[in-house]
Structure 1
Amino acid sequence: MYDPLVDSDIGVAMPYPASYWATTEVVNRHATPYNKLSTDIDTDVVVIGGGYTGLSCAYQLASHFSREVTLLEANQIGWGCSGRNAGFVLRGTGRLGLAQLSEKFGLDIAKGFHQEYSAALALVGQMIDSGNIDCQRQQTGYLKVAHKAALVESLRQQATYLQQQFGYQAEFLPAQALTERYMQNSQAYGALRFDDCYGVNPLALALGYARMATETGAKLYSATPVLSWQRSRSGGFVLQTPEATVRCKQLVLATNGYTPNRFYPALNKACLPVLSSIIVTSPLTEQQLAHSGLWHNQLVMDTRALKYYYRKLPDNRILFGGRSAVYGKDAEQPVYPRRLLQALTNCFPMLEGVCTDYHWSGWVAVSIDDLPRVCQAEPDLFYAAGYCGSGLSFSTQAGKRLAQLCMGQALPALPLYQGPLKPFPLPALRRVGQQAYYQWGRFSDRFL
């Protein structure tokens, strides 16, 4: 499997991974082939990367600012994380909650984060509605589940804190209420429920964004990797693709966890690509649904250091995900889907014997301080990255903010928008640190 910490070549026109999403009727019905770029062009802005960030940026630039914008994608639209994720439209990004943000930056800044997260959720909903995107949007609800009894009180305190300091009506669910309303999970002792998050088909959403971008005048090209780029002596940038040269005034890097090795060293050294792996089961029977309590469409994530996340899909399959291999070359090893299936049945013993019909993996980009950045890294060069695996809603907002940066507009005074990502110390040892964290996480989740 392609590994952005190792490989400089991301491939050309690679097919989608063998994911559940790529087989769905809604994706097959709306998939639009995009041509590769085969002639030299000049354009105002080039966006590299055909995921949520790049597509949102291209759409905003074309529709709201009437810019001539060209998006270049090496493989297929939504081939990277945008077409591989679990489809969790969540409130937030990075790995820091509002209490942690308040402690680090102060309550007023934390309230600014809260407002920005609300705007991100609203933007995704607006895009779905205005673009009439058929992405299998499910009913709202997200459960943060305590996997140990000792963590229940912390969730209760989080609910009170969110209600009192932010006016956000998060609901605390003790174990009995969680069991009666949502699940018969043997490793669930209580939960915090968020009422405005929901599930979607993430690849269908990306394809919908692409259609909206093209309808407003953006030019999208697939099978068009950028082999090299440099600044032009006359200003702007010159990019080389396999069959064409592209000249532009501004350049946006929307590659996040799929930034090839050495493509832009300042960004490469500031992100740790981490594999997340997903299985999708065979459809559950009515008896299995009844015994597990998983009739609902709530998104679920637990409180483990190495988190598990899951949801019921429209055809009654269970999507279940978690951390995977450290190196891309190991991603397809059968041990990883077996571990995920075992974790699922540990939580829901009544599902013993259910089969895994799909397994795939994808890269998320982790930053050193657990927060992403949207920035102008150099004159006329912009990027957004470091969502830490929680980027579906915020990456859409990040695309909008990138477009505003390209137009010289000021962004909210939040740390997200006040400079580039910080590089990792000793970046060559990032995966050594990752392996150590995984060992600690397994110990912590079991014994602490």
Structure 2
Amino acid sequence: MYDPYVDSQLNSNQADVASYWQAETPEQVNYPAIVQDISCDTVVVGAGYTGLNCGYELAANHQRDVVVIEALQPGWGCSGRNGGFVLRGTGRLGLAQLADKFGLDTARLFHQEYGEAIARVNQLIEVGNINCQPQPVGYYKLAHKPGIAKDLARQAEFLQQHFAYPVRYLDKSELQQTVVNHQQAYAALSFPDCYGLNPLALAQGYSRMAVEAGAKLYGRSPVLSFKRCQTGFEVVTPQAVIRSSNLVLATNAYTARGLYPALNNSCLPVLSSIIVTEPLNSQQLQQVNWQQHSIMMDTRTLKYYYRLLPDNRILFGGRGAITGKAAADPLYARRLLAALKLSFAGLEQLNYQYQWSGWVGVSFDDLPRIYSPEPNLFYAAGYCGSGLSFSAHAGKRLAQLVTGKVLPALPIYQSGLKEFPMTAFRRQGQQLYYQWGRFKDHFL
């Protein structure tokens, strides 16, 4: 499996993801490679949510000549293989942590920005008539230990009081009776504006919208190198050179080591693994009492996240291997299945039918950045695995940066990603963190 920590390039000869989303998403379009030299105002590298939204915004609302290129096909990276969680936030810092770090007023600006991100996704789905199977709203943050239940109650009070955000606290009894019969959940927070969808279908919809707006979109066109020239940039692909005034790197965790080292060194690629089970039968559904097909995530340091899909399969995800070479080891799928069965009684005979992994871009300070580190070069990265909604908004903000607009006064727009200390040893640090996380989740 491609590994951005060690591979200097992302080429177009990658194995198929073989995900549930690929099997369930009809009419997938294959975009051809670019084969002739061209010039444009802006070239966007990466056709995930961020790059597609940047291309769409530049073409539709700024009338810019924009080219979007992707090493494989749009949505091949994390945008097409994530769990499909539309969440109000990004990074790994909650509003209380943001308030402690930056002050309550700035935290409220973050909350507003996160709300605009969800609103953008909702609007694009409606305007583009994107068939991405959005499920009824409902996201539950689950306390995985009894002692954390009080923490969730305090969080609910904080969010209601300072942000007028109508979260709701559920104790264990109410959770089991009205949401799900979960064996390892002792309380929950219910978030009213979050939901699940088909992430690959969403990426396909964004692709179509970008092209219809006037952006040129090419697949199987990996960037071999780029350099500055008199008119801006020369971006070299296997069969063509693209000359542009502006360059946008929308590659996030999939940034190859040799593409732009400053970005690669500031964004740790972390594997998140997912299994999807066979469909639950009526007896199993009755046993787990999973209502509303809601999305869920627990409070572990090494979190598990899961949802009941429209066809009554369970999607269950969590941290996987450390390296790309080990990503396909069935050990990690078996661990996820074992964790699923500990969570839900009556599923002892359940097996999984799909298993895959994808890279998540983790920043050093747990916050993403949308930034221009040097003239006419721009990037957005570091969503920490919570980027489905915000990455669409980040694409819009990138387009505004390219066109000279001033972004809101938020820290994520005022500085670049911080490079990891001792960057050559990031993986060793990750291994130590995983060991600590497992110990904390089990014993503390």
For the aligned pair, the TM-score class normalised by the smaller chain equals over 0.9
Displacement after TM superposition at 1:262 (Å): 2.1
- In structure 1, the residue matched to 2:323 is 327
1:166 alignment partner in structure 2: 163
CA contact (8 A) 2:301 2:437 kept: yes
One-letter code of the match for 2:96?
A
Q: 1:102 aligns with which of 72, 96, 99?
A: 99
- Report the equivalent of 2:236: 240
**2:345 maps to what in 1?**
349
Question: Do structure 1's residue 70 and structure 2's residue 70 form an aligned pair?
Answer: no
Structure 1 runs of 4+ aligned residues shifted over 3 Å read 13-16
Aligned with residue 338 of structure 1, among 307, 331, 334: 334
1:13 to partner: Cα distance: 5.6
Q: Answer with 9-18 or 64-73: which moved more.
A: 9-18
**Equivalent residue, structure 1, for 2:252:** 256
Q: TM-score, normalised by structure 1?
A: 0.98
Offset of residue 111 of structure 1: 0.2
Q: How far apart in 1 are the matches of 2:259 and 2:224?
A: 9
SS at match of 2:346: helix
The Cα of 1:28 is off from its aligned counterpart by: 2.0
Aligned-pair distance for 1:184? 1.1
In the alignment, does 2:142 pair up with 1:152?
no
Q: Secondary structure at the match of 1:432?
A: helix
Following superposition, the deviation at residue 221 of structure 1 comes to 0.1
Name the aligned partner's letter for residue 352 of structure 2. T
Kindly indicate whether the alpha-carbon contact (under 8 Å) linking 2:146 and 2:186 is maintained by their aligned counterparts in 1: yes
Aligned length: 444
Structure 2 segments unaligned to the other structure (5+ residues) = none
TM-score (norm 2): 0.99
1:18-167 equivalences in 2 (<5 Å) = 18-24=18-24, 27-29=25-27, 31-167=28-164
1:297 is displaced (CA, Å) by 1.3
CA RMSD of aligned residues (A): 0.8
Contact 1:214 1:220 in 2 (8 A): yes
**2:287·2:345 contact (CA, 8 Å) conserved in 1?**
no
The one of 352, 372, 378 equivalent to 1:382 is 378
Structure 1: gaps spanning 5 or more residues: none
8 Å contact from structure 2 (residues 249, 380) kept in 1: yes
CA contact (8 A) 1:289 1:295 kept: no
Q: After superposition, where does 1:246-395 map in structure 2 within 5 Å? A: 246-395=242-391
Q: Percent identity?
A: 59
SS of structure 1 residue aligned to 2:10: coil
Taking the aligned partners of 1:134 and 1:373, their CA distance within structure 2 comes to: 30
- Partner of residue 419, structure 1: 415
Determine if contact 2:367/2:412 at 8 Å carries over to the other structure. Answer: yes
> CA separation in 1, counterparts of 2:83 and 2:295?
10
**Residue of structure 1 in register with 2:7 after alignment:** 7
Q: Does 1:439 align with 2:435?
A: yes
Return the offset for 1:337: 0.4
Report how far residue 316 of structure 1 moved.
0.4
Give the residue type in structure 2 aligned to 1:148.
Answer: K
TM-superposed deviation, 1:419: 1.3
Partners of 1:16 and 1:22 within 8 A in 2: no
Q: Contact 1:230–1:238 at 8 Å: present in 2 too?
A: yes
- In the TM superposition, residue 10 of structure 1 has moved relative to its aligned partner by 1.3
